[in-house]
Amino acid sequence: GYGSNVVTLLDYGAGNVRSVRNAIRSLGFDIKDVQSPKDILDAERLIFPGVGAFAAAMDVLTQKGMAEALCTYIENDRPFLGICLGLQLLFESSEENGPVNGLGLIPGVVGRFDSSKGLRVPHIGWNALQLTSNSEILNPIRNNHVYFVHSYRAMPSDDNKDWVSSTCNYGDNFIASVRRGNVHAVQFHPEKSGDAGLSVLRRFLYPKSFTTKVIPAGKASKLAKRVIACLDVRTNDKGDLVVTKGDQYDVREDTKEHEVRNLGKPVDLAGKYYNDGADEISFLNITGFRDFPLGDLPMLQVLRYTSEKVFVPLTVGGGIRDFTDASGRYYSSLEVASEYFRSGADKVSIGSDAVYAAEEYIRSGVKTGKSSMEQISRVYGNQAVVVSIDPRRVYLKNPDDVDFKTVKVSNPGPDGEEYAWYQCTVNGGRENREIGAYELAKAVEELGAGEILLNCIDCDGQGKGFDIDLIRLISDAVNIPVIASSGAGKVEHFSEVFNQTNASAALAAGIFHRKEVGIQSVKKHLSKEGIEVRLTPF
Ligand code: 1PR
C-alpha cells in the first residue's frame, strides 16, 4: 500500500486540475497520479476531476484501458469521488458533440441546459443544493452555496433515483450529486467552493470521522449574485509586481514622479479577499510593455501561490493573444492561455484581441476558428473564456448619427445630449476602435466567449456607481453571464446594479483596496435587500 494519506488522482491531462491537487494537499494528503489502469484498480481512494469535453475524455479513457478499470473499481464499491465531468461520464451518454457513450454505470443522458427559455448558459456561479437522500460528504452543506460551472447536466428520473443524492435548481432541477455506497460524484467544484467545498473533500478523505446523521435540506434557492474582487497588477518602475488602481485607467500618482500607484502585494491581497468572502478573484496584468507573456514569470508565480490557498475561481487577463518572441518563436494564444491554466487560473480574460477578432468577424461574417476565443474555448470550454470590454461613453444629440447601438441615457451629457453609444477601446483604453460595446458583446458570444467582464472607462475609479445604462444594454443583449465593473463606491451601488440590470456578478477594485467598503458588508447589504448571495463564513 501507499500508506493511508495518499489519494490516487485520475488526471488525463485535458485541463487544469491544479486546484484539485492544491485542495487535496491542503487537507494533508499526498497525490499519486494514475499512469495505468492498474493504478486505478489498486487505489485506496480515487478522485476523478473530469475536465474538457465529454467525447474527448471518453476517447482517452477508452484508449488507455482506463474506462474498464474505472467501471470495475466503481462496481466493487471502492472509494470514489468524481467531479463535474467526472460525474457526467458515469452516465449512459451525453449530447455534448454527440450523442457519445459514457461509462454507463448510471441510467440517464447528459443534456445541455435549455437556453431558449432565456437561461444563461453556461451555468456559472454559486448555487445551493437540495439534498434528496443521505450523503455523509454533503451533509454539512445544507443551504450553503457551492460553485458550479457547466453547460451540460444530467436529470433525475425514476431510473436513476437510487443514485441521486442532491439536485440543484437552474431552469430545472438537475442532478447535483450522486452517491451509492462508497461511490460519490458531484457536479459542482468542491475545490472552488471555499470552505464549504473543502469540507466535502475532507469528509470524503476522512470518512470515519463523521456521523451519518441526516441533515434536512435548506430552502429552495437560485443562482447567487457574485461579488468579485479585481486586482489590476503591473510592474512598477522598480520592477516589482504590485496591485495598482487607475483613475479612468490612469494608474500613475498625481505627483512630480508620476510613480505607479501601489496598493499592495497581489498574493496577499487575493488571500485576504478570499477570507473576506470574495466569490471570485480576477487578476488583470496591465503592465504596459507586455511583449513576452510566457516569460512573464511573476504573473505565473502569483497564480501558483494564490491557487495554493485561495479556493474560489481565479481569472487572469492581460496579454492573452498570439505572439512571437524576440528569438522569433511563435506562441498561439492557446499556448499562452494553457500556461496560465497550468499555473492555477480557471478562466482567462481577453481584451484587445477580442476586439480585433470581433471586428474581423463582423466584417467578413466568417468564423475562422483561429481567434483566441475560438481556440481557447474549443479546448477548455466556453466557461474558461471571459471577454473584457473597455468602452468609453460617446454622447449624441441624435441616435441616428452613428451605425452603432445607442441608448437613451439616464443622465444627459455635458451639452444636454440625451443619447450615447459605448465605443470599444484596446490597449487599456489608449486606442478607440470603430465598434460599440453592444456589437462586440454579440460577436464575442458567437465566437465562444462564456462570460463578459464589462468595464466602463468613464466610471472607473470614480466611486459614483456602475454605468446602469451600459450594463442593462449588454446584459439584455447576450445569453452569457455579464460581470458589471467600474465605479462601485458604496454598498448601495451593488444592490442598484442587481436590481436594475441582469448582471450576474459585480466587480470592484478601488473600494476594497482602500478598505473603504469590505466584501462582507457588500454581501450583508445584498442579503438584507433580498438579493441572493453566498454568505461566509461557512
Ligand atoms: O487587452 O487583452 O491585454 O487585456 C488588458 C486588460 O487589462 C483588460 O481587461 C483591461 O480592462 C485591463 N486594463 C488595461 N489597462 C488598465 C488600466 O487601468 N490602465 N484595467 C486596465 C482595467 C478596469 C477594471 C477595474 C474596474 C473596477 N481595470 O478591472 O478594476 O474598473 O475599478 P473600481 O471598482 O475601482 O472602479 P488585453
**Active site annotation includes 525:** no
Q: Whose CA is nearest to atom 26 of ligand 1?
A: 486
Domain total for the chain?
2
Q: Is residue 534 part of a domain?
A: no
* pLDDT at residue 1 in the model: 40
* pLDDT at residue 127 in the model: 96
Residue of 150, 189, 513, 525 marked catalytic:
189
Centre of ligand 1 from the C-alpha of residue 217, in Å: 41
Instruction: Decide: 446 and 438 in contact? Cβ < 8 Å.
Output: no
> Do 285 and 357 sit in the same domain of this protein?
yes
Q: Is the dihedral of CA 150, 155, 161, 166 positive or negative?
A: positive
At 123, is the secondary structure helix, strand, or coil? strand
Instruction: Decide: 241 and 269 in contact? Cβ < 8 Å.
Output: no
Centre of ligand 1 from the C-alpha of residue 355, in Å: 15
Task: Output Rg (C-alpha) for the chain, integer angstroms.
Answer: 23
> Do 200 and 261 sit in the same domain of this protein?
no
**Across the beta sheet with 91-94, what order do the strands follow?**
100-101, 91-94, 106-112, 152-154
Q: Is residue 219 part of a domain?
A: no
At 507, is the secondary structure helix, strand, or coil? strand
**Active site annotation includes 390:** yes
Enumerate the β-bridge partners of residue 183.
Answer: 80, 180
> Do 192 and 270 sit in the same domain of this protein?
no
Q: Is residue 220 part of a domain?
A: no
* pLDDT at residue 327 in the model: 80
Q: Is residue 221 part of a domain?
A: no
Cα dist. 204→1, 41, 57, 263 in Å?
19, 18, 24, 40
* pLDDT at residue 150 in the model: 92
Residue of 11, 84, 184, 280 marked catalytic:
84
At 48, is the secondary structure helix, strand, or coil? strand
Q: Is residue 268 part of a domain?
A: yes
Distance from C-alpha of 389 to C-alpha of 373, rounded to nearest angstrom: 14
> Do 349 and 424 sit in the same domain of this protein?
yes
> Do 157 and 274 sit in the same domain of this protein?
no
DSSP assigned state of 400: G
Element housing 24 (H / E): helix 18-26
**pLDDT digits over 351-392, tens only?**
999 999 999 999 999 999 999 999 999 888 889 999 999 999
> Do 179 and 287 sit in the same domain of this protein?
no
> Do 181 and 245 sit in the same domain of this protein?
no
At 96, is the secondary structure helix, strand, or coil? coil
Cα dist. 173→166, 167, 491 in Å?
9, 6, 32
Residue of 11, 232, 279, 439 marked catalytic:
232
Distance from C-alpha of 371 to C-alpha of 377, rounded to nearest angstrom: 10
Residue of 136, 191, 280, 439 marked catalytic:
191
* pLDDT at residue 2 in the model: 43
Cell of 270: 487575493
Residue of 280, 390, 451, 458 marked catalytic:
390
Distance from C-alpha of 336 to C-alpha of 372, rounded to nearest angstrom: 10
Cβ < 6 A, ligand 1 pocket: 230, 232, 245-246, 249, 251, 284, 286, 317-320, 349-353, 388, 390, 428, 455, 460-461, 485-488, 508-510
**Active site annotation includes 172:** no
Instruction: Decide: 121 and 174 in contact? Cβ < 8 Å.
Output: no
Domain with 355 in it: what CATH number? 3.20.20.70
Cα dist. 263→238, 247, 313 in Å?
15, 13, 22
**pLDDT digits over 143-177, tens only?**
789 999 999 999 999 999 999 999 999 999 999 99
**Active site annotation includes 191:** yes
**Active site annotation includes 68:** no
> Do 172 and 274 sit in the same domain of this protein?
no
Q: Is residue 488 part of a domain?
A: yes
Cα dist. 309→223, 448, 456, 535 in Å?
25, 30, 31, 19
**Last-in-domain residue among 209, 239, 263:** 209
Give the atom of ligand 1 at the shortest distance from the alpha carbon of 459.
Answer: 36
> Do 370 and 508 sit in the same domain of this protein?
yes
Centre of ligand 1 from the C-alpha of residue 428, in Å: 6
Give the atom of ligand 1 at the shortest distance from the alpha carbon of 250.
Answer: 19
Give the atom of ligand 1 at the shortest distance from the alpha carbon of 244.
Answer: 18
* pLDDT at residue 214 in the model: 54
Centre of ligand 1 from the C-alpha of residue 39, in Å: 46
DSSP string spanning 215-271?
Answer: --------PPPEEEEEEEEEE-TTS-EEEE--BTTB-B-SSSS-PBP----HHHHHH
> Do 205 and 230 sit in the same domain of this protein?
no
Q: Is residue 198 part of a domain?
A: yes
Centre of ligand 1 from the C-alpha of residue 464, in Å: 17
Instruction: Choose the residue to mutate in 388, 431, 497 for probing ligand 1, maximizing ligand atoms within 8 Å of C-beta.
Output: 388
Kindly report the pTM of this predicted structure. Answer: 0.94
Distance from C-alpha of 452 to C-alpha of 480, rounded to nearest angstrom: 7
Distance from C-alpha of 282 to C-alpha of 287, rounded to nearest angstrom: 15
Q: Of 386, 242, 236, 239, whose CA–CA distance to 316 is shortest?
A: 386
Domain with 60 in it: what CATH number? 3.40.50.880
**Last-in-domain residue among 165, 181, 209:** 209
**Last-in-domain residue among 209, 234, 259:** 209
Q: Is residue 1 part of a domain?
A: no
> Do 236 and 120 sit in the same domain of this protein?
no
Q: Is the dihedral of CA 169, 175, 176, 179 positive or negative?
A: positive
> Do 78 and 177 sit in the same domain of this protein?
yes
Centre of ligand 1 from the C-alpha of residue 318, in Å: 9
Centre of ligand 1 from the C-alpha of residue 454, in Å: 10
DSSP assigned state of 89: T
Neighbour tally for 343: CB within 10 Å: 21
The low-confidence residues of the chain, meaning pLDDT below 50, are 1-2
Distance from C-alpha of 291 to C-alpha of 242, rounded to nearest angstrom: 19
Residue span of the structural domain in which 34 resides: 6-209
Q: What is the chain's length?
A: 538
Give the atom of ligand 1 at the shortest distance from the alpha carbon of 230.
Answer: 30
